[in-house]
Amino acid sequence: MPRAPRRCALRLSPLVCLLAAAGCAPQLPRNLDAPAPKQALLAQRGRVSLCAERGLDDAEWLQIRAEGFSNPIGGYFSDSGATRSSLVIVLDGACTYYSGGPAHSARNAHEHFAAPFRAAGFQTWCLALTECGSAFGDADLREAVAVVDWLHEEGGRLLGVDHVYVAGYSSGATVALLLNSMRHVTAVAAISPMCEPAQWQRHWSLYHFIADLYPRNEGMCQLRDTLEFYGPPGSPRWAALDSVAKIDQLHRPMLMVQGGERDVIHFSESFLHFQARYNELRREGAVLPLVEFVYLPDADHFEPVESPDVRRQIIDFFDRFEADQQAQPTPADPHTAARG
Protein backbone atom coordinates (compact mmCIF):
# COMPACT_ATOMS: atom_id res chain seq x y z
CA MET A 1 0.00 0.00 0.00
CA PRO A 2 1.52 3.36 -0.94
CA ARG A 3 2.49 5.53 1.99
CA ALA A 4 1.66 8.75 0.15
CA PRO A 5 -1.88 9.03 1.63
CA ARG A 6 -0.38 8.76 5.11
CA ARG A 7 2.16 11.46 4.35
CA CYS A 8 -0.50 13.77 2.93
CA ALA A 9 -2.79 13.31 5.93
CA LEU A 10 -0.03 14.00 8.42
CA ARG A 11 1.11 17.12 6.63
CA LEU A 12 -2.45 18.34 7.03
CA SER A 13 -2.51 17.45 10.71
CA PRO A 14 -1.67 20.97 11.99
CA LEU A 15 -4.97 21.94 10.38
CA VAL A 16 -6.95 19.08 11.88
CA CYS A 17 -8.61 21.29 14.49
CA LEU A 18 -9.83 23.75 11.85
CA LEU A 19 -10.85 20.99 9.47
CA ALA A 20 -12.77 19.22 12.22
CA ALA A 21 -14.63 22.41 13.03
CA ALA A 22 -15.61 22.64 9.37
CA GLY A 23 -16.70 19.00 9.33
CA CYS A 24 -14.01 17.90 6.87
CA ALA A 25 -11.22 16.31 8.91
CA PRO A 26 -8.97 13.89 6.97
CA GLN A 27 -10.70 10.55 6.52
CA LEU A 28 -9.29 7.47 8.23
CA PRO A 29 -10.64 3.91 7.91
CA ARG A 30 -13.06 2.59 10.52
CA ASN A 31 -10.87 -0.44 11.14
CA LEU A 32 -11.37 -1.00 14.85
CA ASP A 33 -13.30 -4.23 14.30
CA ALA A 34 -11.77 -5.24 10.97
CA PRO A 35 -12.39 -8.94 10.26
CA ALA A 36 -9.40 -11.26 10.47
CA PRO A 37 -8.04 -12.46 7.12
CA LYS A 38 -9.43 -15.80 5.97
CA GLN A 39 -6.88 -18.49 6.71
CA ALA A 40 -6.70 -22.28 6.63
CA LEU A 41 -4.80 -24.25 9.25
CA LEU A 42 -1.79 -26.06 7.80
CA ALA A 43 -0.14 -27.43 10.91
CA GLN A 44 -0.28 -27.19 14.67
CA ARG A 45 2.30 -28.27 17.22
CA GLY A 46 1.80 -27.49 20.87
CA ARG A 47 1.31 -23.77 21.16
CA VAL A 48 2.39 -23.04 17.57
CA SER A 49 0.08 -22.81 14.55
CA LEU A 50 0.82 -22.28 10.86
CA CYS A 51 -1.93 -21.10 8.51
CA ALA A 52 -2.22 -20.42 4.78
CA GLU A 53 -3.89 -17.33 3.39
CA ARG A 54 -5.53 -17.18 -0.01
CA GLY A 55 -3.56 -15.16 -2.54
CA LEU A 56 -0.32 -15.28 -0.56
CA ASP A 57 2.19 -17.76 -1.94
CA ASP A 58 5.44 -16.69 -0.28
CA ALA A 59 4.38 -16.60 3.38
CA GLU A 60 2.23 -18.27 6.01
CA TRP A 61 0.61 -16.90 9.13
CA LEU A 62 2.72 -18.15 12.06
CA GLN A 63 1.34 -17.65 15.54
CA ILE A 64 2.21 -18.74 19.05
CA ARG A 65 0.32 -18.87 22.30
CA ALA A 66 2.33 -17.41 25.15
CA GLU A 67 1.73 -17.51 28.87
CA GLY A 68 -0.06 -14.43 30.13
CA PHE A 69 -1.74 -13.60 26.80
CA SER A 70 -5.37 -14.35 26.05
CA ASN A 71 -4.86 -14.12 22.29
CA PRO A 72 -2.18 -15.67 20.09
CA ILE A 73 0.72 -13.55 18.84
CA GLY A 74 1.28 -13.89 15.13
CA GLY A 75 2.29 -12.51 11.80
CA TYR A 76 3.41 -13.33 8.29
CA PHE A 77 6.39 -15.69 8.28
CA SER A 78 8.41 -16.38 5.16
CA ASP A 79 11.46 -18.50 4.45
CA SER A 80 10.94 -18.14 0.70
CA GLY A 81 14.37 -17.98 -0.92
CA ALA A 82 16.15 -18.00 2.44
CA THR A 83 19.86 -18.77 2.22
CA ARG A 84 20.71 -18.04 5.86
CA SER A 85 19.71 -19.44 9.23
CA SER A 86 18.81 -15.89 10.21
CA LEU A 87 15.43 -14.33 10.95
CA VAL A 88 14.39 -10.67 10.83
CA ILE A 89 11.42 -9.85 13.06
CA VAL A 90 9.70 -6.93 11.31
CA LEU A 91 7.62 -4.47 13.34
CA ASP A 92 5.73 -1.97 11.20
CA GLY A 93 4.09 1.24 12.34
CA ALA A 94 0.50 1.69 13.49
CA CYS A 95 -2.32 0.42 11.27
CA THR A 96 -3.99 3.86 11.26
CA TYR A 97 -4.23 3.95 7.46
CA TYR A 98 -5.06 0.28 6.81
CA SER A 99 -8.67 -0.80 6.42
CA GLY A 100 -7.85 -4.32 7.60
CA GLY A 101 -6.27 -3.32 10.90
CA PRO A 102 -3.02 -4.77 12.32
CA ALA A 103 -3.05 -7.86 10.09
CA HIS A 104 -3.36 -5.63 7.02
CA SER A 105 -0.42 -3.55 8.23
CA ALA A 106 1.64 -6.71 8.80
CA ARG A 107 0.74 -7.96 5.31
CA ASN A 108 1.90 -4.65 3.84
CA ALA A 109 5.14 -4.92 5.81
CA HIS A 110 5.68 -8.41 4.40
CA GLU A 111 5.16 -7.20 0.85
CA HIS A 112 7.26 -4.03 1.12
CA PHE A 113 9.36 -3.39 4.24
CA ALA A 114 10.50 -7.02 4.59
CA ALA A 115 11.04 -7.81 0.90
CA PRO A 116 14.68 -6.59 0.75
CA PHE A 117 15.58 -8.78 3.74
CA ARG A 118 14.26 -11.85 1.96
CA ALA A 119 16.08 -10.84 -1.21
CA ALA A 120 19.26 -10.83 0.88
CA GLY A 121 18.56 -14.37 2.10
CA PHE A 122 16.94 -13.70 5.49
CA GLN A 123 13.78 -15.32 6.78
CA THR A 124 11.22 -12.72 7.88
CA TRP A 125 8.36 -12.64 10.37
CA CYS A 126 6.16 -9.54 10.17
CA LEU A 127 4.24 -9.36 13.43
CA ALA A 128 0.76 -7.91 13.95
CA LEU A 129 1.06 -6.54 17.47
CA THR A 130 -1.80 -5.36 19.66
CA GLU A 131 -2.81 -1.73 19.15
CA CYS A 132 -6.24 -0.66 20.44
CA GLY A 133 -6.83 -1.65 24.05
CA SER A 134 -3.25 -1.05 25.07
CA ALA A 135 -0.69 1.76 25.13
CA PHE A 136 2.55 2.13 23.19
CA GLY A 137 5.19 0.14 25.04
CA ASP A 138 2.67 -2.03 26.87
CA ALA A 139 1.05 -5.07 25.19
CA ASP A 140 2.94 -4.53 21.93
CA LEU A 141 6.28 -4.64 23.74
CA ARG A 142 5.31 -7.63 25.89
CA GLU A 143 4.24 -9.50 22.74
CA ALA A 144 7.54 -8.79 21.01
CA VAL A 145 9.40 -9.95 24.12
CA ALA A 146 7.31 -13.14 24.21
CA VAL A 147 8.22 -13.88 20.58
CA VAL A 148 11.94 -13.47 21.28
CA ASP A 149 11.62 -15.70 24.36
CA TRP A 150 9.84 -18.36 22.29
CA LEU A 151 12.58 -18.24 19.67
CA HIS A 152 15.13 -18.83 22.41
CA GLU A 153 13.18 -21.63 24.07
CA GLU A 154 12.12 -23.65 21.04
CA GLY A 155 11.24 -21.52 18.04
CA GLY A 156 14.79 -21.05 16.82
CA ARG A 157 15.23 -24.81 16.63
CA LEU A 158 11.86 -25.35 14.93
CA LEU A 159 12.55 -22.66 12.32
CA GLY A 160 16.22 -23.45 11.85
CA VAL A 161 17.23 -20.00 13.09
CA ASP A 162 20.62 -19.21 14.61
CA HIS A 163 20.46 -15.42 14.55
CA VAL A 164 17.52 -13.12 15.26
CA TYR A 165 17.37 -9.49 14.17
CA VAL A 166 14.66 -6.91 14.83
CA ALA A 167 13.77 -4.17 12.33
CA GLY A 168 11.11 -1.67 13.37
CA TYR A 169 9.51 1.38 11.85
CA SER A 170 7.68 4.21 13.66
CA SER A 171 5.77 2.72 16.62
CA GLY A 172 7.39 -0.61 15.71
CA ALA A 173 10.79 1.07 15.98
CA THR A 174 9.84 2.32 19.43
CA VAL A 175 9.10 -1.28 20.43
CA ALA A 176 12.40 -2.43 18.90
CA LEU A 177 14.28 0.24 20.82
CA LEU A 178 12.69 -0.72 24.14
CA LEU A 179 13.18 -4.41 23.39
CA ASN A 180 16.93 -3.86 23.05
CA SER A 181 17.11 -2.93 26.74
CA MET A 182 15.19 -6.07 27.75
CA ARG A 183 16.38 -8.95 25.56
CA HIS A 184 19.45 -10.09 23.63
CA VAL A 185 19.05 -10.45 19.87
CA THR A 186 21.73 -10.30 17.21
CA ALA A 187 21.18 -6.67 16.19
CA VAL A 188 18.41 -4.08 15.92
CA ALA A 189 17.38 -1.46 13.36
CA ALA A 190 15.02 1.33 14.40
CA ILE A 191 13.62 3.63 11.70
CA SER A 192 11.83 6.80 12.84
CA PRO A 193 11.42 5.74 16.50
CA MET A 194 10.06 7.77 19.39
CA CYS A 195 13.01 7.84 21.80
CA GLU A 196 11.45 9.81 24.64
CA PRO A 197 7.93 10.85 25.67
CA ALA A 198 8.41 14.63 25.94
CA GLN A 199 6.45 15.44 22.79
CA TRP A 200 3.46 13.35 23.89
CA GLN A 201 3.32 15.21 27.16
CA ARG A 202 3.86 18.62 25.57
CA HIS A 203 0.96 18.13 23.15
CA TRP A 204 -1.17 15.81 25.31
CA SER A 205 -4.40 17.77 24.84
CA LEU A 206 -3.95 18.19 21.08
CA TYR A 207 -3.21 14.50 20.56
CA HIS A 208 -6.20 13.54 22.68
CA PHE A 209 -8.41 15.84 20.62
CA ILE A 210 -7.17 14.33 17.35
CA ALA A 211 -7.58 10.75 18.63
CA ASP A 212 -11.13 11.49 19.78
CA LEU A 213 -12.06 12.52 16.23
CA TYR A 214 -11.62 8.90 15.14
CA PRO A 215 -13.29 6.62 17.71
CA ARG A 216 -13.44 3.66 15.29
CA ASN A 217 -9.83 3.79 14.09
CA GLU A 218 -7.44 1.23 15.57
CA GLY A 219 -4.30 3.35 15.47
CA MET A 220 -6.01 6.41 16.92
CA CYS A 221 -7.51 4.20 19.61
CA GLN A 222 -4.00 3.15 20.64
CA LEU A 223 -2.92 6.78 20.70
CA ARG A 224 -5.85 7.60 22.99
CA ASP A 225 -5.10 4.56 25.17
CA THR A 226 -1.47 5.66 25.41
CA LEU A 227 -2.40 9.11 26.66
CA GLU A 228 -4.82 7.67 29.21
CA PHE A 229 -2.48 4.89 30.36
CA TYR A 230 0.57 7.06 31.02
CA GLY A 231 -1.49 9.93 32.32
CA PRO A 232 -1.30 13.72 32.11
CA PRO A 233 1.96 15.58 31.50
CA GLY A 234 4.43 15.05 34.31
CA SER A 235 3.07 11.66 35.35
CA PRO A 236 5.93 9.34 36.40
CA ARG A 237 4.49 6.57 34.22
CA TRP A 238 5.85 8.31 31.11
CA ALA A 239 9.37 7.28 32.17
CA ALA A 240 8.64 3.82 30.75
CA LEU A 241 8.92 5.28 27.23
CA ASP A 242 12.15 7.18 27.89
CA SER A 243 14.77 5.23 25.95
CA VAL A 244 17.26 8.09 26.31
CA ALA A 245 17.35 7.38 30.04
CA LYS A 246 17.87 3.65 29.35
CA ILE A 247 20.84 3.85 27.00
CA ASP A 248 23.07 2.20 29.61
CA GLN A 249 20.71 -0.82 29.52
CA LEU A 250 21.12 -1.53 25.80
CA HIS A 251 22.21 -5.09 25.03
CA ARG A 252 22.99 -5.35 21.33
CA PRO A 253 24.26 -3.31 18.35
CA MET A 254 21.71 -1.02 16.77
CA LEU A 255 21.27 1.15 13.68
CA MET A 256 18.97 4.15 14.12
CA VAL A 257 17.56 6.14 11.20
CA GLN A 258 15.60 9.38 11.39
CA GLY A 259 14.26 11.99 8.99
CA GLY A 260 14.55 15.61 10.08
CA GLU A 261 11.32 17.01 8.66
CA ARG A 262 8.72 17.67 11.37
CA ASP A 263 4.96 17.72 11.59
CA VAL A 264 2.59 17.86 14.53
CA ILE A 265 2.98 14.13 15.23
CA HIS A 266 6.57 13.29 14.35
CA PHE A 267 9.51 15.12 15.91
CA SER A 268 13.20 14.49 15.31
CA GLU A 269 14.37 16.00 18.61
CA SER A 270 14.11 12.76 20.57
CA PHE A 271 16.42 11.01 18.08
CA LEU A 272 18.97 13.82 18.39
CA HIS A 273 18.72 13.71 22.18
CA PHE A 274 19.35 9.96 22.09
CA GLN A 275 22.39 10.42 19.84
CA ALA A 276 23.81 13.22 22.01
CA ARG A 277 23.36 11.24 25.23
CA TYR A 278 24.88 8.09 23.71
CA ASN A 279 27.95 10.01 22.56
CA GLU A 280 28.21 11.71 25.95
CA LEU A 281 28.18 8.38 27.78
CA ARG A 282 30.82 6.99 25.43
CA ARG A 283 33.07 9.99 26.10
CA GLU A 284 32.63 9.39 29.82
CA GLY A 285 33.92 5.85 29.37
CA ALA A 286 30.66 3.89 29.52
CA VAL A 287 30.82 0.45 27.93
CA LEU A 288 27.93 0.38 25.46
CA PRO A 289 27.03 -1.69 22.42
CA LEU A 290 27.64 -0.14 19.03
CA VAL A 291 24.92 2.28 17.95
CA GLU A 292 25.18 3.94 14.54
CA PHE A 293 23.03 6.94 13.62
CA VAL A 294 21.74 7.95 10.20
CA TYR A 295 20.10 11.38 10.18
CA LEU A 296 18.39 12.51 6.97
CA PRO A 297 17.61 16.21 7.51
CA ASP A 298 15.42 16.61 4.41
CA ALA A 299 13.44 13.38 4.85
CA ASP A 300 10.03 13.12 6.53
CA HIS A 301 8.75 10.38 8.81
CA PHE A 302 7.96 8.00 5.94
CA GLU A 303 10.81 8.42 3.48
CA PRO A 304 13.50 6.52 5.43
CA VAL A 305 11.54 3.25 5.48
CA GLU A 306 10.86 3.58 1.75
CA SER A 307 14.46 4.40 0.84
CA PRO A 308 16.46 1.69 -0.97
CA ASP A 309 19.63 3.23 0.46
CA VAL A 310 18.34 2.89 4.03
CA ARG A 311 17.27 -0.70 3.44
CA ARG A 312 20.71 -1.51 2.05
CA GLN A 313 22.35 0.13 5.08
CA ILE A 314 20.27 -2.03 7.43
CA ILE A 315 21.19 -5.22 5.59
CA ASP A 316 24.87 -4.24 5.55
CA PHE A 317 24.65 -3.50 9.28
CA PHE A 318 23.06 -6.87 10.03
CA ASP A 319 25.64 -8.65 7.87
CA ARG A 320 28.41 -7.45 10.18
CA PHE A 321 27.03 -9.60 13.01
CA GLU A 322 26.24 -12.84 11.16
CA ALA A 323 29.37 -14.52 12.48
CA ASP A 324 28.74 -13.44 16.08
CA GLN A 325 28.14 -16.70 17.93
CA GLN A 326 27.31 -14.79 21.12
CA ALA A 327 24.41 -13.00 19.47
CA GLN A 328 21.76 -15.69 19.57
CA PRO A 329 18.56 -14.75 21.41
CA THR A 330 18.88 -15.28 25.16
CA PRO A 331 16.63 -14.51 28.11
CA ALA A 332 16.89 -11.12 29.74
CA ASP A 333 18.40 -10.37 33.09
CA PRO A 334 15.48 -10.68 35.56
CA HIS A 335 15.93 -7.03 36.47
CA THR A 336 14.97 -6.02 32.92
CA ALA A 337 12.16 -8.50 32.39
CA ALA A 338 9.07 -7.45 30.46
CA ARG A 339 6.39 -5.62 32.34
CA GLY A 340 3.66 -8.06 33.27
| pLDDT over 90 percentage in the chain | 82
- Assess whether pLDDT exceeds 80 at residue 193: yes
- Inter-residue contact 174 to 266 (CB < 8 Å): no
> Mean pLDDT for the chain?
89
Greatest pairwise CA separation for the chain in angstroms? 59
| C-alpha neighbours within 13 Å on the C-beta side of residue 306 | 12
Please compute the mean of the pLDDT values over residues 126-149 and round it to a whole number: 97
pLDDT of residue 9: 46
Domains in the chain: boundaries: 41-322
Fold of 41-322: Rossmann fold (3.40.50)
Is 296 within 8 Å of 304 (Cβ atoms)? yes
Which pLDDT value is given to residue 40?
96
List of E strands, the chain = 39-45, 48-53, 60-64, 73-78, 86-91, 123-127, 163-169, 187-191, 254-259, 291-296
Instruction: Say whether pLDDT at 1 is over 80.
Output: no
> What pLDDT shows up at residue 25?
61
Average pLDDT rounded to a whole number, residues 33-43: 93
pTM: 0.89
With a cut of 90, say whether residue 337 has pLDDT above it.
no
pLDDT over 50 (residue 8): no
Sheet harboring 123-127: ordered strands across? 39-45, 48-53, 60-64, 73-78, 123-127, 86-91, 163-169, 187-191, 254-259, 291-296
